[in-house]
């Protein structure tokens, strides 16, 4: 009888651990569906769990659920990053941001999530923000100083932050013709990784104190495009309740439209040829070559691998789908930065644009150099970047959601801080400069300039806005004082502008969207430079 009672007691205790994710360690031991994980108290009030596998996948195969464990997983350090394509121009970009790059090793066993959750003495059953990093689908990792979710959770109740690793470049979307013949599903393995991670979070976040019915996804650049791809690929999804897109979306123009399949077929063939493989055994050989060798060849060739239309995860008729309302109709916060393109042009100039970068025609080089150096030209290259690659897609995406009666908010980030720009006035409010403000990770910059009081106050405001949206995507920002976006009214939230450096003022589409109907000639010129800066 005593043994029976003891067994029942243990069974009830196991259920308690699974439901509440708590133990005598103060909530740092959590029972996931795959087994227990042990995190840490990273700062008073915040639990941190790093490197938890959400899936397993062999090279160029779809992710599968990870195996169950009988032992406790040590979740106190980041898992390895997925293989990266870090070209010289990408490294220059990262250097200009002061980010310092990743610190973990790389591995193809890289499908992990990281979770920052409030300690168990704080309110639980919180909203959940899942972060998807950018990097032009060529590189990216959660082991990145600006992406740490600790400060958001420390300074805001009712929120958990999750980040996920996903495959990029040739490992994430190879577009191999031989593989296409053997697959009935998608070759966009990075996008499949993202979906698997979102599903894992939905299945497990309750034990970390999160509410699986209040999950949003947010990302920047390629990460923002990924959130849009998710919305179009999963119109009937019930997991994601809101989306934040920072400087990226699918709609707008040909430069952000899905990539033509034949272009990455060429990249695949070039890489395969460079490592000495040819048909018919090409695929089998490419599957077993060490990933470091493939990675090095991709970097040396500056080969581009991006998601391609497959009718499953990525589509080539986004404008038509938008007009038909064929997407996930959840509230959207979308925006761009005031000087998105400046950092791209500076990176090119640092690497001596005129002749050191392969693939640029002499005529194109002369045209672009003239545009880059003509500071009096209001239609210069950086302005075109802003409009054609970021501002106009944000405008078109927002308008499409409004037309479908989706609660939509739009922002424009305008702040410039010395510790973010390293005192370089030519960078402005550049592409990705809002990230340390959103995450409150400005102190992580490699630059020596300290954050200003204005910067700290603006970061608190922006964080509060993002969290308000996460808590209640439908009404959170309205209650926060933001109007729903309307192309005909002053409803664009200008963050950190000279009119209010620590908060918000509202501007109109008529002011910022002029020039979105640019000519094909202008698109062609910017497209040539965009091809060179595909590592951003």
Classify residue 142 by its DSSP letter: S
CA dihedral for 505, 509, 510, 511, sign (positive or negative): positive
Burial class (CB in 10 A: 0-12, 13-18, 19+), 262: exposed
**For residues 10-27, b (16+ Cβ closer than 10 Å) or e, as one string?**
eeeeeeebeebbbbeeeb
Short-list 46, 141, 33, CA closest to 86: 141
Tell me if residue 311 falls in helix, strand or coil.
Answer: coil
Helix orientation angle between 88-97 and 342-350, rounded to the nearest 10 degrees: 120
Two tokens, residue 416: 């410039």
Tell me if residue 491 falls in helix, strand or coil.
Answer: strand
Short-list 183, 196, 205, CA closest to 230: 196
C-alpha span between 245 and 178 (Å, rounded): 34
Query: Do residues 21 and 30 lie in contact, with contact meaning Cβ atoms separated by under 8 Å?
Result: yes
In degrees and rounded to multiples of 5, residue 347 shows phi and psi of -60, -45
The reply to whether 221 belongs to the active site is yes
Tell me if residue 210 falls in helix, strand or coil.
Answer: strand
C-alpha span between 212 and 194 (Å, rounded): 17
C-alpha span between 503 and 481 (Å, rounded): 11
Cα→Cα distances 10→16, 17, 26, 33, 58, Å = 10, 11, 19, 18, 38
Question: Rounded to 10 degrees, what is the CA torsion of 488, 494, 497, 499?
Answer: 50
Instruction: Say how far residue 505 (Cα) sits from the centre of its chain.
Output: 26
C-alpha span between 404 and 509 (Å, rounded): 18
CB neighbours of 453 closer than 8 A, spacing ≥ 6?
none
Catalytic position from the list 127, 221, 395, 433: 221
**For residues 291-311, b (16+ Cβ closer than 10 Å) or e, as one string?**
eeebbebbbebbbbbbbbbbe
Two tokens, residue 512: 């910022």
Tell me if residue 351 falls in helix, strand or coil.
Answer: coil
C-alpha span between 208 and 31 (Å, rounded): 9
Burial class (CB in 10 A: 0-12, 13-18, 19+), 210: buried
Tell me if residue 144 falls in helix, strand or coil.
Answer: coil
How do strand 210-220 and strand 240-246 relate by DSSP bridges?
A: parallel
Burial class (CB in 10 A: 0-12, 13-18, 19+), 516: middle
Active site residues: 221
């Amino acid at each position: 009888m005593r043994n029976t009672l003891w067994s029942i007691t243990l069974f009830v205790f196991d259920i308690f651990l699974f439901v509440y994710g708590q133990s005598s360690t103060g909530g740092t031991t959590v029972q996931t569906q795959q087994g227990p994980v042990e995190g840490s108290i990273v700062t008073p009030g915040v639990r941190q769990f790093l490197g938890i596998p959400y899936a397993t996948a062999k090279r160029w195969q779809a992710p599968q659920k990870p195996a169950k464990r009988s032992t406790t997983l040590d979740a106190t350090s980041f898992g390895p990053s997925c293989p990266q394509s870090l070209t010289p121009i990408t490294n220059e970009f990262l250097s200009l941001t002061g980010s310092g790059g990743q610190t973990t090793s790389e591995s193809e066993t890289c499908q992990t999530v990281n979770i920052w959750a409030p300690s168990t003495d704080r309110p639980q059953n919180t909203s959940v923000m899942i972060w998807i990093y950018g990097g032009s689908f060529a590189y990216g990792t959660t082991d990145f100083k600006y992406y740490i979710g600790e400060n958001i959770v420390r300074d805001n109740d009712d929120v958990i932050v999750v980040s996920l690793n996903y495959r990029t470049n040739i490992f994430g979307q190879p577009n191999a013709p031989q593989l296409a013949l053997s697959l009935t599903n998608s070759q966009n393995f990075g996008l499949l990784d993202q979906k698997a991670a979102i599903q894992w979070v939905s299945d497990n976040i309750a034990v970390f104190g999160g509410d699986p019915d209040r999950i949003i996804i947010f990302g920047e650049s390629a990460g923002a495009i990924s959130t849009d791809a998710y919305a179009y690929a999963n119109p009937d999804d019930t997991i994601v309740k809101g989306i934040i897109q920072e400087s990226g979306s699918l709609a707008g123009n040909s430069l952000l439209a899905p990539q033509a399949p034949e272009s990455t077929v060429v990249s695949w063939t070039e890489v395969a040829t460079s490592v000495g493989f040819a048909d018919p055994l090409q695929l089998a050989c490419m599957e077993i070559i060490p990933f470091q060798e493939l990675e090095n060849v991709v970097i040396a060739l500056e080969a581009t691998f991006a998601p391609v239309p497959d009718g499953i995860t990525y589509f080539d008729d986004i404008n038509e789908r938008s007009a038909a309302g064929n997407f996930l109709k959840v509230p959207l916060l979308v925006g761009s930065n005031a000087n998105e393109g400046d950092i791209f042009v500076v990176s090119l100039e640092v690497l001596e644009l005129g002749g050191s970068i392969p693939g640029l025609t002499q005529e194109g080089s002369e045209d672009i150099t003239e545009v880059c150096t003509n500071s009096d030209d209001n239609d210069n290259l950086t302005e075109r970047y802003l409009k054609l690659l970021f501002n106009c897609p944000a405008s078109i995406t927002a308008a499409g959601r409004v037309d479908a009666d989706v609660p939509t908010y739009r922002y424009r980030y305008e702040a410039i801080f010395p510790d973010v720009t390293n005192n370089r006035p030519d960078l402005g409010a550049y592409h990705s400069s809002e990230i340390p403000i959103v995450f409150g990770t400005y102190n992580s910059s490699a630059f020596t300039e300290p954050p200003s009081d204005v910067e700290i106050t603006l970061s608190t405001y922006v964080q509060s806005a993002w969290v308000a949206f996460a808590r209640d995507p439908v009404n959170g920002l309205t209650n926060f004082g933001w109007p729903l976006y309307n192309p005909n009214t002053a409803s664009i939230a200008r963050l950190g502008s000279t009119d209010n450096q620590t908060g918000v003022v509202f501007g109109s589409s008529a002011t910022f969207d002029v020039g979105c109907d640019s000519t094909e000639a202008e698109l062609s010129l910017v497209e040539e430079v965009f091809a060179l800066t595909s590592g951003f």
